[in-house]
Structure 1
Amino acid sequence: MLLVVDVGNTNIVLGVYKDDKLLYDWRIATYKDKTSDEYGLLFEQIFKYHGLCPRDVEDVIISSVVPTLMHTLSAMSIKYFNSEPIIVGPGVKTGMNIKYDNPREVGADRIVNAVAGYEKYGGPLIIVDFGTAITFCAISKDGEYLGGAITPGIKISSEALFLRTAKLPKVEISKPKFVIAKNTINSIQSGLVYGYIGLVDYIIERMIEELREEGEVKTVVGTGGFSSLIASESKYINKIDKLLTLEGLRIIYGLCLQYVSSLKATFSNNYKGDDHEDWKS
């Protein structure tokens, strides 16, 4: 089995694959102060609840936008799953040409989403990830990562409104029936939800215009926790794929295996003979 782990600022999404089939997926809260043992025991409990054995995990791949958790989860993987994890980042083969000014600045989650999106839907393509931040990613017809935009997520805006005003309450993020609301709670919900629908659609509209040379953008994918809420009213989002990141991790894992296999084949062809047999082990 393959354990895939996507670490976001608010949630950690993890899943277990058997070959190309996703067996289970889970979403847990991100706690930056948890130790590797605390995460390991939590993962073990989740596995055992579903009748899975951690020892059946053969490999682990992780993408993260929380640098402080990278060592923690790497140590957890080694101790509880007996596997040195693949960490998605610079140097890891993704099969995607990144057209950013500095490719190292692109978040691992954005690249993972782009790899999965292009594999599943082709290009040109726009992906909108509704996480702690909302990220917009543009992929060319040839599968190149062209860039995108980043805005504060809807939850960040809701919390900022509550913290920076004296009288406005903290509200549940849900879509009210009308934009013209009749009470304070619905007014805040209206501003947040319909305001973000407008924000999302305008950015997508501009991206479609700028991608005109790539051809017609037939697919705009929404992913992440709030994707369904916004996509239900969006003029442009026509696919909801909440597990896009997990699929991208599985694809990148497969590419890494192919790369390692090709390296072994190259060395095997270049170093034949008894004097060089020991490296293969």
Structure 2
Amino acid sequence: MLLAIDAGNTNIVFALCDGDEIKARWRIATDPRRTADEYAVWLKQLLSLEKVKFKQVDAVIIGTVVPRALHNLSLLARRYFKVEPLVAGHGAAAWPMTLDVPEPDTLGADRGLNIIAAHAEHEGDIVVIDFGTATTFDVADYTGAYKGGVIAPGINLSLDALTGKTAQLPKIAIEKPDDDSVIGTTTHSQMLIGVYWGYVAMIEGLLDRTKKEIGRPVTVIGTGGLSALFPEGMFDAIDFDLTIKGLMMLHKQATS
């Protein structure tokens, strides 16, 4: 079995994969100080719930945008699973697509993995919008070549900045407003409208400009947990497992 690890700025997702199937997935807060031993104790309990032992995991692949977390995740693979991990974008797991940008080495692992999976599942030009710590737009043409994208503050990051820098605004949870009105009558509703409909307007505006720039039909794929909040029709598809699927595909290619 394959253990696919997606280490993001906020959370690390561990996915247990068997062939093309994701058997289980677990999430833990990202902490670069967390040791391989701590990961192992946590994972052992979760694997046991799936009736899986460490020795049944015979491959590990890591995609990370947190360089400081890579050492202990790699040590986890070597010490407890007795395998040398693949690292997305490096060595045998180098990116299989053309990176048509002036600084290809700066592409975040999650963004590269999203492009791999989205291109494999959708024809033509694609735009992947990932709602994570940052909200990212990534563009690939019909050949799968990465053409660039956009990085914007994530929804929760914007909300934290708003409440952290103001004395009287309360902390609120992001959710879809009760109706389509953009005139709030309470502080809470005004904040929710500003964040939610503000992001809808940003996404719609950037997508409109992106599609015009590409000049061909485009498939828009949403990923990340918050993608489910947005109006139907904004995306052609939503795939919460896109990054993990990219890790699975990259592992298969690197080992075939």
Please indicate, yes or no, whether the TM-score normalized by the shorter chain is above 0.5: yes
Specify the alignment match of 2:204 in structure 1: 201
Distance in 1 (CA, whole Å) between partners of 2:105 and 2:52 is: 36
How far apart are 1:171 and its partner, in Å? 0.6
Specify the alignment match of 1:245 in structure 2: 243
Structure 2 letter corresponding to 1:242: F
1:125–1:138: 8 Å Cα contact kept in structure 2? yes
How far apart are 1:11 and its partner, in Å? 1.1
Distance in 1 (CA, whole Å) between partners of 2:238 and 2:253 is: 25
How far apart are 1:201 and its partner, in Å? 1.3
How far apart are 1:238 and its partner, in Å? 1.9
Distance in 2 (CA, whole Å) between partners of 1:226 and 1:40 is: 29
Distance in 2 (CA, whole Å) between partners of 1:188 and 1:33 is: 35
Relative to structure 2, which stretch is displaced further, 149-158 or 15-24?
A: 15-24
Structure 1 alignment gaps of length 5 or more:
259-281
Specify the alignment match of 2:103 in structure 1: 102
Distance in 2 (CA, whole Å) between partners of 1:93 and 1:166 is: 47
Distance in 2 (CA, whole Å) between partners of 1:164 and 1:150 is: 22
Deviations 1:130-189 (A, max 9, x none): 000011000101111111000000010010011100110111111111332221112111
Distance in 1 (CA, whole Å) between partners of 2:14 and 2:185 is: 41
Deviations 1:38-88 (A, max 9, x none): 112111111112222121001000000011100010011111211111011
Matches within 5 A, 1:123-142: 123-142=124-143
Specify the alignment match of 1:147 in structure 2: 148
2:99–2:145: 8 Å Cα contact kept in structure 1? yes
Structure 2 letter corresponding to 1:99: D
Structure 1 letter corresponding to 2:126: L
Distance in 1 (CA, whole Å) between partners of 2:189 and 2:31 is: 31
How far apart are 1:21 and its partner, in Å? 1.4
SS of 2:217's partner is coil
Specify the alignment match of 1:222 in structure 2: 222
How far apart are 1:210 and its partner, in Å? 1.1
Distance in 2 (CA, whole Å) between partners of 1:243 and 1:220 is: 15
Relative to structure 2, which stretch is displaced further, 37-46 or 55-64?
A: 37-46
Matches within 5 A, 1:21-36: 21-36=21-36
Specify the alignment match of 2:117 in structure 1: 116
Distance in 2 (CA, whole Å) between partners of 1:55 and 1:183 is: 56
1:184 corresponds to 2:182: no
Runs of 4 or more, structure 1, over 3 Å off, are none
Distance in 2 (CA, whole Å) between partners of 1:163 and 1:113 is: 32
The structure number with the bigger radius of gyration is: 1
State the number of aligned residues: 253
How far apart are 1:125 and its partner, in Å? 0.5
Relative to structure 2, which stretch is displaced further, 25-34 or 104-113?
A: 25-34
Distance in 1 (CA, whole Å) between partners of 2:193 and 2:41 is: 41
Structure 2 alignment gaps of length 5 or more:
none
Matches within 5 A, 1:3-22: 3-22=3-22
2:89–2:95: 8 Å Cα contact kept in structure 1? no
After TM superposition, the score normalised by the length of structure 1 is 0.87
Specify the alignment match of 1:265 in structure 2: none
Specify the alignment match of 1:174 in structure 2: 175
SS of 1:138's partner is strand
After TM superposition, the score normalised by the length of structure 2 is 0.95
How far apart are 1:12 and its partner, in Å? 1.1
SS of 2:225's partner is coil
